[in-house]
A and B are shown apart, each in its own frame.
Chain A
Amino acid sequence: QKEVEQDPGPLSVPEGAIVSLNCTYSNSAFQYFMWYRQYSRKGPELLMYTYSSGNKEDGRFTAQVDKSSKYISLFIRDSQPSDSATYLCAMSADTGRRALTFGSGTRLQVQP
């Protein structure tokens, strides 16, 4: 079993829809949770960063972390065709090895 599980998609939605992207994880030591957006043939771009449990909002994006369920989510409101990309969740522990553990990425397509 992988440490971080993420549905690879593709997920296809119409423009304006609310998108929900999710990851589950097994390592209870993870404390830092990140979402990256990656366009084709480009480097990952940091979208959201959350420490421990809770919600964080930035414009059309909301990140949620539920440590009791080992489940994190990214919501995109009023989705746009420019949101079409691969979304990677990533997480790391607070001590010791701090390298990121990535999910496999979810490919999102927003249809105009």
Chain B
Amino acid sequence: DTEVTQTPKHLVMGMTNKKSLKCEQHMGHRAMYWYKQKAKKPPELMFVYSYEKLSINESVPSRFSPECPNSSLLNLHLHALQPEDSALYLCASSQGGAGTGVPGTQYFGPGTRLTVL
């Protein structure tokens, strides 16, 4: 099973709201990722967690706050977003990650389509 699940599928929020995106995998993968994808563009890396520790933060604004409660779960907390943050947010996982010595073939979830009004 190579499934990564994400909830919710769609989210509409105002600029003053606080919301969270959730991601789950049960493949025993030790690296998890958040990507942002705008229409007709490739995914852009936001954060990487390796063994539940944040290993890469691509200078993402602080209004995005990741959290990895355990090896199967990854959250992205959203606060005071801007309309330009509207995008498809993708979670991915891989067996290995930065510094693990294991190939990082990534499996993606279906994404959360976020609209910020």
Q: How large is the interface on A (under 10, 10 to 19, 20 to 34, 35 or more residues)?
A: 20 to 34
Could you tell me the distance between the alpha carbons of A46 and B109 in the complex, rounded to whole angstroms? Answer: 11
Chain A interfacial positions (CB closer than 8 Å to B): 8, 32, 34, 36, 41-46, 49, 51, 88, 90, 92, 96-100, 102-105
Interface residues, chain B, with chain A CB atoms under 8 Å away: 2, 4, 6, 31, 33, 40-43, 45, 48, 56, 88, 90, 96-98, 103-111, 113
Report whether A99 and B45 are in contact in the complex, using a CB–CB cutoff of 8 Å.
yes
B42 / chain A contacts, CB cutoff of 8 Å? 88, 102-105
Contacts of A90 in B (CB 8 A): 106
Chain B residue at minimal CB-CB distance from A86: B40
Nearest neighbor of A46 in chain B, beta-carbon distance: B107
Tell me the interface secondary structure of chain A in the complex: loop
Q: Which residue in A32, A42, A104 is a CB contact (below 8 Å) of B110? A: A42
Known interface pairs A96-B98, A102-B43, A104-B42; A43-B109 also in contact (CB < 8 Å): yes
Can you give 21 A-B contacts (C-beta < 8 A)?
Answer: A32-B105, A34-B105, A42-B110, A43-B4, A43-B110, A43-B111, A45-B108, A46-B108, A90-B106, A92-B104, A96-B98, A97-B98, A98-B31, A98-B98, A98-B104, A99-B33, A100-B45, A100-B104, A102-B42, A105-B40, A105-B42
